[in-house]
Amino acid sequence: MLAYSMELNLFPKRLARSEDILKLSLCFGLATGLCEGAILLGLQEASLAAWPMIRDGVAPPILWISPAFDALLFLTFGAVWASAAAFARRDLRAWAAGFFGWMGSYSLLASTGRLKESASIVLGLGMGALVGRQFARDTEKRLRIVRRALLPIVTGLALLLGAGVHQAEREERASEERLYEKLPAAVPGAPNVLLIVLDAVRADHLSAQGYPRATSPNIERLAREGTLYLSAYSTSSWSLPAHASLITGLFPFEHRADLWPLRPEFVTLAEFLSARGYMTASFAANTLWCTSAAGFTHGFAHHEEYFANVPDMISRTLFGRKAMKPALAAAGEYRELNRKTAATVNQEMLAWLDQRQLQTVRRPFFVFLNYFDAHEPAFPPAPYDGIFAPAGQINGRRPIDFKGSPPGSVPREAAQAQVDAYDSAIAYMDAQLGALWAELERRGLAGNTLLIVTSDHGEALGEQGWFGHRGSLRAELIHVPLLVRLPWRVPAGARPETPVSLQRVAATIADVAGLESGAPFAGSSLAVASGARGAGELIEPVLAEVRGIPGGKMPEYWPLAQGDLRALVTQRWHFIERNDGHVELYDRTGDPRLERNLAGTMEGRAVVEEFRRQLARLGGTPVADAAQHAKK
């Protein structure tokens, strides 16, 4: 009875300790989030961000998102510690302080992206031990400092930063309007330009190009009103260099946006068109590489990339990024909940367009859209998840993503499930493209809008035993769709088969829009500006390149793992050279699946030597070549 009475007497004291732990967790969480947000944004803006941090970029709202998320996260752990403290005989406050010190230190060390994971953990443990020891020496004194000074200070800073970021966003919207007011007058009758990238879509999976499944009825319909290039090739097999080539007219060896962000000295389509009176905006679902962190948004007066939903906000924080995917997998959810759907991208664009039409003197617009739904892991929404697959097969409750699986390890049924998901996602994006175009028609804008639909790269679906992209320059990775439509400037129903490069898209846009005079873009137009020229009749190099991943973290079965790759494609040949001298040569006409390497044959050796000479001429002095197209 006496022991029970003593326990009751101690309970208020233990509750007070629990309250202290909750305050500690809030203080450490807010402080960690404030510092983490400043580190992530500061390193990015100073061009000092490590490669993983460029890929998972941020924007100013991270300055309130990180404190808010970390405060909730630390409070969650704080509640566990507080519950334990309410019943423990020992004082756990110093131990809790040490734990929060470790969490905060680890977060700040890992946020730099410069340390190995193990180093961040060990150094964080050391810092946590120091914090715990300091609190153990004089717990009450340290807690008074937290209660009376630190907690009010960090709370006030977090609120102040949140208000400041909100005000900055309002100012940015106002400055966009002022920018448009200062633009020069556009050429009378200048067409709008809408450039849509269907991320990771290979050409041979479009019904518009002969695929047996009805994956692209809307593209088929639009192709009858424009020109569909049947042999269009990207300049690379992954997003960053391919997108950079699209908007600069430069090859990867010229713009170098493959191991680094796109540098600001290269003129982009957005800058070129803005200087000629166009409103410019970018709406990207690829929030890895179509971003300000990757240098993609140069010249766009308006761009929407990050923070489209709460999961994306969480995934931009350090702990959210590391924990989200494992936590979802543990819960049996394999969809990337932080993704933007094509429908969301459309909504963002139309909302911006409506606002601009209300506030601005009518100007032509240049809008870039990126749909990301076919990128692995592909889980299209209903009802598209069931159009090519059995019900429930691609509902997100089982993994369908084998990009890390070595050749021979994926069962046939599982491989087919990924193909089904991929095709279904393409059909969904095609439907959203059709819905967007219908909206533009309803608003009376489609008739004077130059539409370009393409992709940045394709996708390997087990042809060589592996899945994904970037690892090679085979056709399945670089052969992409390319549709150009503007009824009064582009031949309708044309389907040229001559290989063309996406490097020529920028020059083509300038040509078709009637702005070719003074255009800085390398490469000629695809010659679709008038019926006087045959579509695509100008023969230019179709070059693709890909360089290895920094740090060498590549699957050993990737051809790229053995060395950097370059490729040339002609009407007949598909040539691939590795930087160690290994070559592949395929006859596209007689071997469309690229199964027989002819580099060692008598004819092949002569062709290989000619292609090597062409590559030497193209890439001999990349820095000098690139400088010709840099801004003066």
Poorest-pLDDT segment among 45-59, 147-161, 424-438, 614-628: 614-628
Separation between Cα atoms, residue 624 and residue 632, nearest integer Å: 14
State yes or no: pLDDT of 530 exceeds 60.
no
pLDDT > 90? residue 280: yes
Higher pLDDT, 143 or 346: 346
Q: What would the mean pLDDT of 267-290 be, rounded to a whole number?
A: 96
Say what the pLDDT of residue 2 is.
44
Q: Mean pLDDT lowest for which of 58-62, 147-151, 304-308, 508-512?
A: 147-151
Which CA distances in Å does 100 have to 16, 74, 131? 18, 7, 9
More confident residue, 157 or 490: 490
According to DSSP, the residues that pair with 192 across neighbouring strands are 449
Tell me the average pLDDT across 528-533: 41
Tell me: pLDDT of 560 over 70: yes
Instruction: Look over the chain and give the mean of its residue pLDDT values, rounded to a whole number.
Output: 87
- Compute the distance between CA of residue 482 and CA of residue 193 in angstroms, rounded to an integer: 15
Reported as a single tens digit per residue, the pLDDT across 376-397 is 998 899 899 889 988 778 877 7
Highest mean pLDDT among 177-191, 219-233, 357-371: 219-233
Residue 373 predicted with pLDDT over 90: yes
Is the pLDDT score of 23 beyond 90? no
Tell me the backbone φ, ψ of residue 72, rounded to 5 degrees: -65, -40
pLDDT of residue 551: 65
- In this prediction, residue 168 carries a pLDDT of 64
- Under the banding of pLDDT at 50, 70 and 90, the label for residue 458 is very high
530 or 16, which is more confident = 16
Taking residue 629's Cβ as centre, other Cβ atoms within 10 Å add up to 17
| Size (the chain), residues | 632
- pLDDT of 537 > 60? The answer is no
pLDDT confidence of 90, banded at 50, 70, 90? confident
Contact status, residue 371 vs residue 197, Cβ threshold 8 Å: yes
Where are the domain boundaries for CATH 3.40.720.10 in the chain?
197-535
pLDDT at 185 over 60: yes
pLDDT at 255 (0 to 100): 94
* Fold topology of 197-535: Alkaline Phosphatase, subunit A (3.40.720)
CB 30 within 8 A of CB 71: yes
pLDDT digit string, tens, across residues 320-334: 988 888 888 787 777
- Top-confidence range, 183-192, 209-218, 458-467: 209-218
pLDDT value of residue 180: 84
390 or 533, greater pLDDT: 390
Both tokens of 448, joined, read 């004077």
Q: What's the pLDDT score for residue 624?
A: 34
Q: What's the confidence (pLDDT) of residue 331?
A: 78
Answer whether the bond into residue 559 is a cis peptide, omega within 30°.
Answer: no
Instruction: Find out whether 365 and 509 touch, Cβ atoms under 8 Å.
Output: no
Q: 272 burial class (0-12, 13-18, 19+ CB within 10 angstroms)? A: buried
What pLDDT sits at residue 9? 52
Q: Which strands form 482-485's sheet, in the order they lie side by side?
A: 227-228, 482-485, 449-454, 192-198, 365-371, 279-284, 302-304
CA distances 285 to 42, 71, 312, 370, 593, Å, are 24, 28, 11, 6, 31
Q: What is the mean pLDDT of residues 84-106?
A: 91
Confidence of residue 27 (pLDDT cuts 50, 70, 90): confident
Task: Summarize the confidence of residues 3-21 as an average pLDDT.
Answer: 67
Contact call for residues 491 and 238 (beta carbons, < 8 A) = no
pLDDT at position 529 is 38
pLDDT value at residue 547: 92
Judged against a pLDDT cut of 70, whether residue 248 lies above it is answered with: yes
Handedness of CA 595, 466, 433, 294 (dihedral sign): negative
Greater confidence (578 vs 10) lies with 578
**What's residue 47's pLDDT?**
83
Pairing of strands 279-284, 460-461: unpaired
Question: What is the rounded CA–CA span in Å between residue 281 and residue 296?
Answer: 12
Q: Could you tell me which residue, 169 or 631, shows the higher pLDDT? A: 169
Query: Given this model, what pLDDT does residue 350 score?
Result: 97
Strands 467-468 and 460-461: antiparallel
530 or 110: whose pLDDT is higher?
110
3-state DSSP percent of the chain in helix, strand and coil, to 5 = 50, 10, 40
pLDDT at residue number 625: 38
489 has pLDDT over 50: yes
Residue 576 φ then ψ, to 5° = -130, 130
